[in-house]
Amino acid sequence: MEPVKIGIIGCGVIGRHHVQTATAAENVELVAVADRIPERGEKMAAEFGVPQVYVEGDDLIDGAPVEAVVLALPADGRLSLGLHALSAGKHLLTEKPVARNAGEAEQLLAAQGDRVAGCCSSRMRFTESAEAVAKFLQTGPLGELRMVRCKAISGAGKPRSEPAPDWRLKKAQNGGGILMNWGCYDLDYLFGLLGWTLVPETVFAQCWRVSPAYDFDGYLTRGSDAETHFAALARCANGVSISFERAEMAAAQTENTWEMYGSHGTLHLHMTAGRKCITYDRAVVGEGVETSVVWEGTDGGDAIHRGPLCDFAAAVREGRTPLTDLRRALVIQRLSDAIYASAEQGCSVAV
């Protein structure tokens, strides 16, 4: 299979992961990189032997001999570049969140045409454990699905020695805070494992900013205005409920739980990479509940960075959709928008 010629726009932390994947992958040829901090782009190009380097992403799209573009920059810069790339006939892979809101995601989808386009919110589904769970779920062990639950709380640690990336907790740049940064991973993981069968209809939610105990340099960048904690309850078609809570820099101990409850059993998951034991509780007539291990082991961290780009390149050559395409990313974004709307209005809202 001939490698897909790509250009990567954005040479920050996540851009480096894409560059590392691209230079090692057999189905990708990295032709160009771009970054508005010239020395950062030049350093990346020199380190990895990238032939062409640009300052402006638009110049890469117009000038580099690429078939596809990866947008590895903050969300506020992705819409115009994504529309430009698609109009120029390039395939498109965008970092998560897919956009700052559903309206922007809809613009990308409307412009896609026959190009392949995907979003990196699928990262956690490239782990070995996620693949094992997806295969297990095909046997229908849960029966009728009743509830999907995520509670992922990250307790505050010591202040950073260096400031966090400027965009992470600014609504204008990222569309929101922890919901946009990590919530999209949770939803992609759970929705994807269930075959995108969940159809959220209404949601009731609340958002909170960081505790005053941590509202200073070392935890936040100046001007941060987005949430660090949210909780939501969504009702889906067919009566399925979603209980969804995530926080960072919380005044609480760290807790991570992802679960799927059904009429015949419950699956206990662990989304993040590392050592894990995924278990299944099965209803047994006359006995109660029997617990078995679905998968046990250690997921390496490489798969979550390698997966989206390699899958995207394969999708381009095979003429198929990537693991999470723009339509699926839009499902996540619409639910995220509804969570913010409910929190602001103080009532349940339609998704």
Q: What does the pLDDT read at residue 283?
A: 97
The pLDDT score that the predictor gives to residue 286 is 95
User: Domain spanning 125-301+333-350 has what CATH number?
Assistant: 3.30.360.10
Domains 4-123+305-323 and 125-301+333-350 alike in fold: no
pLDDT at 223: 85
Domain regions of the chain by residue span: 4-123+305-323, 125-301+333-350
Look up residue 110 and give its two tokens. Answer: 């409307």
Token representation of residue 292 = 């078995």
Determine the Cα–Cα distance for residues 145 and 262; give it in Å rounded to an integer.
Answer: 4
Strand 145-155 versus strand 68-71 pairing type: unpaired
Whether residue 217 contacts residue 163, with contact meaning beta carbons closer than 8 Å, is answered with yes
Tens of pLDDT, residue by residue over 113-129, are: 999 999 999 999 999 99
Q: What is the pLDDT of residue 165?
A: 80
Check if the beta carbon of residue 120 is closer than 8 Å to that of residue 94. yes
Q: What is the pLDDT of residue 92?
A: 98
- pLDDT score, position 164: 75
Residues 76 and 88: their CA atoms lie apart, in Å, by 20
CATH assignment, 4-123+305-323 = 3.40.50.720
Helices vs strands, H then E, count in the chain = 11, 15
Extract the residue ranges of the chain whose pLDDT is less than 50: none
Task: Tell me how far CA of residue 140 lies from CA of 68, 133, 294, in angstroms.
Answer: 38, 11, 14
**Helix, strand, coil abundance in the chain, percent, nearest 5:** 40, 30, 30
Question: At 49, which amino acid appears?
Answer: G
pLDDT digits (tens, 9 = 90+) for 155-170: 999 988 877 788 889 9
